[in-house]
């Protein structure tokens, strides 16, 4: 399979209730998830995005594993390890626990854990922010613009 696109649906109010025509939007933070097969070389390709809007009670992740692109840049990359790390991020967004997953409580703490620097095959980039009336649509837009 060449491309895998995954999205997790987490705790959030229906988007239709979030945005009104008079709203300027809700603040959010996001991180780009990077595949970093060799940490010592500091080379990476973007593979996903995590978006958190505390005001909208929204935490969600989306990713794309483009095997052809990743293998072209990193012939020896462990694609199973990349997928597994991305699935862990999605599970944390959904507040799943057990099986070695951290029990972090509220979405703001889970986003903090996801966005913390680490030396693994999938790493978060810097935290960025913005304002949106539709966090789910913004996540899709960011994934398309920054990953795909």
pLDDT at position 20 over 60: no
- The encoded tokens of residue 95 equal 């507040």
Q: Which of 52, 61, 53, 60 is nearest to 25 (CA)?
A: 53
What's the DSSP call for residue 21? T
pLDDT, one tens digit per residue, over 48-85 is 999 999 999 999 999 999 999 999 999 999 999 999 99
pTM, two decimals, is: 0.84
Residue 1 has pLDDT above 90, yes or no: no
Long-range contacts of 123-126 (CB under 8 A, 24+ apart): 123/33, 123/34, 123/36, 123/39, 123/44, 124/31, 124/32, 124/33, 124/34, 124/50, 125/31, 125/32, 125/33, 125/34, 125/46, 126/31
The pLDDT value recorded for residue 24 is 74
**Is residue 46 very low, low, confident or very high in pLDDT (cuts 50, 70, 90)?**
very high
Higher-pLDDT residue of 97 and 66 is 66
Angstrom CA distances, 141 to 49, 57, 104, 133, stand at: 10, 19, 27, 13
């Amino acid at each position: 399979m060449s491309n895998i696109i995954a999205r997790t649906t987490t705790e959030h109010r229906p988007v239709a209730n979030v945005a009104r025509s008079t709203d300027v939007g809700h603040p959010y933070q996001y991180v780009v998830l990077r595949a970093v097969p060799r940490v010592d070389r500091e080379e990476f390709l973007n593979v996903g995005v995590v978006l958190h809007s505390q005001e909208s009670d929204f935490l969600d992740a989306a990713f794309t594993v483009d095997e052809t692109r990743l293998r072209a840049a990193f012939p020896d990359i462990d694609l199973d390890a990349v997928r597994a790390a991305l699935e862990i991020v999605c599970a944390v967004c959904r507040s799943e626990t057990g099986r070695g997953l951290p029990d972090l409580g509220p979405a703001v703490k889970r986003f903090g854990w996801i966005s913390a620097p680490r030396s693994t095959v999938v790493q978060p980039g810097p935290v960025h922010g913005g304002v949106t009336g539709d966090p789910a649509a913004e996540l899709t837009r960011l994934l398309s613009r920054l990953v795909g």
